[in-house]
Amino acid sequence: MLPVLTFALGLLLGAAVLWLVLRPRQELRLASADTERQLLRERVVDLETALGEDQQTAQALAPLSSTLARVERQVEALERDRSRQYGALGAQLRTVAETTGALHQQTAVLSGALKSSNTSGAWGEMQLRRVLEHAGLLPKCDFDEQVRSTSRHGKQIRPDAVVHLPGGKVLVIDSKAPIQHFLAAQVEDTPDAERDRLLRAHSAALTGHVEALSAKDYWSGFDSTPEAVLCFVPSEAILATAVRTDPDLLDRAMAKRVLLVSPATLLSALQTTALVWRQDALERNAQELLTIGRELYERLGTLGKHTHRVGETLRRSVEAYNAMVGTLEARVLVSARRMEDLGLASEAVPQVQPVEQAPRPLTAAELIDALDDDVARPQLDLGPAGGGSDGGSEGASRERAG
C-alpha cells in the first residue's frame, strides 16, 4: 500500500512540478498568441481599408479605362486608314508620274508639230475661235472667219476673224502670230545663252509680223471699222515673254495701228462687245416701245373720236325716244284714256317711261385731246317734268315739220 501511495504522490509532485515549469511557457505562448491575434486583427483592418480604397480607385478609373479602350480602337482604325491611304497615295503618285511622263512626250510632239508655220497658224485660229465662242459670240452671226475683202490699195486681204459691232461696225483680228522661236526656247537642256538668243529672235519675229500686218492695211477693206487690227497671240506666256525681252514692242505696234492681244485681254474686249450688243438690243427695244407708245397714244385720240360719236348718237337717240314718249303721253294717251273712261277699252293703257340715263361723257384728256371742249363734254337735261312737255312740243313741231 505504501509503495502505491508513494508512487501516486510522486506522480502528483511530478505533475505539479511539470505544471509549474510549463505554466510560464504557456502564458508566454498565450501572450504571444494574443499579440499575433491583435496584429492579425490590425492587418485585417488595414487590408479591409486598402481594399475599400482600391475599389474606390477602380470605380474612379473605370471611365478612364473605357476612354482609353475607345482611343485605342480609334488609333487602330486610324492606323488602318493611314496604311490604306498611303497605299492609295502611292498608286496616285505612280499614276501622276506616268501621266507627267506621257505629258512630256506629248508636249515634245506638240512642240515639234507647232514648229511648222501652217500648224501653228491653225492652232492660233483654233484658239481664237475658242475665245470668241467663250465670250458668247456666235459664228456666222456675231463673227465671221476668213472673210475676203480688198484694201484701199487694191490688195486682196483675208483676216482670220471679223467681229461685228453694233451700228454696222466691225473688228478685224489676225491670229497668225509667230511662236516657233518661243517653243524652241522651251526645250529642256537648252543652254541659257541659246535660250536668250531664241527669245530675242521670238520678239524680232513678232515685230516683223506686226510690220507685215500694218502693211496689209486690213482696216481699209471694211466699212466703219477702227483704223487698227488686233494681232491675237494664242498664249499669255508667249506675249509676256516677247514684251519682257522687248519692252517697247507694244508701243511700236500701236504706232503702226496693230494691237497685240492675248487670250485674256481679247476675252475682256469681246465680253465688252457682247455687253454693247445687249445694250444696243435694249436700246432698240426701248425705241420700239417708244414708237408703239406714241402710236397707241395717237390711236387713243382716234378711239376717243369714235367713242364721242357713239355717245352723240346715243344722246340723240335718247332725246328722240323721250320726244316720242312726250308725244305719246300728250296726244295719244289722252284720247286712249277717254276711250277707257267710256268703256270702249278692255285693258288699261300701259305707261311708257322716258329714259332718264344719259350716255357718260368722255373726261380723260388722252381721249378728248382731238375734240373741242364743247363737243367733248355733251350735256343732256332729262328732267322728268320737262321731259314730257318739252319732248311733246318738240315732237309736235317735228310732226308738223314732217
pLDDT tens, residue by residue, 50-90: 777 766 766 766 676 677 778 788 888 888 887 888 788 77
DSSP 83-107: HHHHHHHHHHHHHHHHHHHHHHHHH
**Is 232 inside a domain boundary?**
yes
**Is 328 inside a domain boundary?**
yes
On whether both 230 and 306 belong to a single domain, the answer is no
Per-residue pLDDT reduced to its tens digit, 124-157? 788 888 888 887 777 777 777 787 777 776 777 7
The predicted structure's pLDDT at residue 350: 67
The predicted structure's pLDDT at residue 10: 67
Q: How far apart are CA 275 and CA 157, in angstroms?
A: 29
The predicted structure's pLDDT at residue 373: 45
User: Do residues 266 and 230 make contact, with C-beta atoms less than 8 angstroms apart?
Assistant: yes
Residue 139 — φ and ψ, nearest 5°? -65, 150
Question: Where does the pLDDT of residue 239 fall: very low under 50, low under 70, confident under 90, or very high at 90 and above?
Answer: confident
Query: When comparing pLDDT for 362 and 391, which is higher?
Result: 362
Query: When comparing pLDDT for 349 and 147, which is higher?
Result: 147
Q: How far apart are CA 121 and CA 315, in angstroms?
A: 83
Q: Helices 384-401 & 263-327, crossing angle to 10 degrees?
A: 80
User: Do residues 367 and 301 make contact, with C-beta atoms less than 8 angstroms apart?
Assistant: yes
**Is 340 inside a domain boundary?**
yes
As a whole number, mean pLDDT of residues 96-104 equals: 65
Name the domain count of the chain.
2
Its domain, for residue 140, covers 105-261
Nearest 5°: CA angle at 214, between 209 and 216? 95
Per-residue pLDDT reduced to its tens digit, 152-170? 767 777 787 888 777 677 7
On whether both 127 and 242 belong to a single domain, the answer is yes
H helix intervals, 225-353: 236-245, 249-255, 263-327, 333-341
pTM assigned to the model: 0.44
Instruction: Decide which of 239, 261, 283 is a domain's last residue.
Output: 261
What is the amino acid identity at position 332? Answer: V
**Is 313 inside a domain boundary?**
yes
Is residue 312 pLDDT above 60, yes or no? yes
**Is 53 inside a domain boundary?**
no
The predicted structure's pLDDT at residue 26: 61
Instruction: Decide which of 238, 261, 284 is a domain's last residue.
Output: 261
On whether both 173 and 248 belong to a single domain, the answer is yes
- What proportion of the chain, given as a percentage, has pLDDT over 90? 0
Q: Give the count of beta carbons closer than 10 Å to the beta carbon of residue 185.
A: 18
Question: Where does the pLDDT of residue 44 fall: very low under 50, low under 70, confident under 90, or very high at 90 and above?
Answer: confident
Q: Is 170 exposed, middle or buried (0-12, 13-18, 19+ CB in 10 A)?
A: buried
**Is 194 inside a domain boundary?**
yes
The predicted structure's pLDDT at residue 402: 34
The predicted structure's pLDDT at residue 389: 41
